[in-house]
Amino acid sequence: MTLQTQAVLAAFLERDAAELWGFELSKASGLPAGTIYPILQRLTAAGWITSRWEEAEHAQGAGRPPRRYYTLTTEGRARAVHALAEGAKKRASLSRLLGPAEEGA
């Protein structure tokens, strides 16, 4: 799993069951929209997240186009927690193997 996908999953988990839209995920993860939307498509296809469109009347009242909201599924939440834990373990192992960074390197 890429670090970018892990960043998106972490954004979902940090907001604990909240519905999030693409731009909000972009801000939370620090990733550009062009990176976020393909990740959201893959996570949707895998069943980790679901999406719904905001009601047009609500968006019009706010003077903007409707947002597409994304939510982690129950299975997606469990898999995200596991994937982030595994990613952290791998990064820690790699850090131990590489040792401390040399100054000026």
11 located within any domain: yes
Domain contains 23: yes
Contacts of residue 39, defined as CB under 8 A and 6 or more positions apart, other chains included, come to 4, 5, 8, 31
Q: Which domain holds residue 17?
A: 3-95
What pLDDT was estimated at residue 87? 78
Q: Which of 34, 29, 19 shows the shortest CA–CA distance to 70? A: 19
- CATH number of domain containing 21: 1.10.10.10
Q: What is the pLDDT of residue 46?
A: 97
Which pLDDT score is estimated for 102? 59
- Our count of domains for the chain comes to 1
Q: Backbone phi, then psi, for 87, in 5-degree steps?
A: -60, -40
H or E stretch at 71 = strand 68-72
Q: For residue range 38-91, what is the model confidence (pLDDT) as tens digits?
A: 999 999 999 999 999 999 999 999 999 999 999 999 999 999 999 999 877 777
The one-letter amino acid at 90? K
CA distance 65 to 55: 10
At 20, give phi and psi (nearest 5°).
-125, 150
> What does the pLDDT read at residue 43?
97
Task: Examine the pLDDT at 93 and tell me if it is beyond 90.
Answer: no
Residues 6 or more apart from 80 whose CB is under 8 A from it? 9, 12, 13, 48, 72
Looking at residue 103, its pLDDT comes to 59
Higher-confidence position of 83 and 94: 83
Other beta carbons less than 10 A from residue 61's beta carbon: 9
User: What pLDDT is stored for residue 91 in this prediction?
Assistant: 73
* Least confident span in 26-30, 66-70, 94-98: 94-98
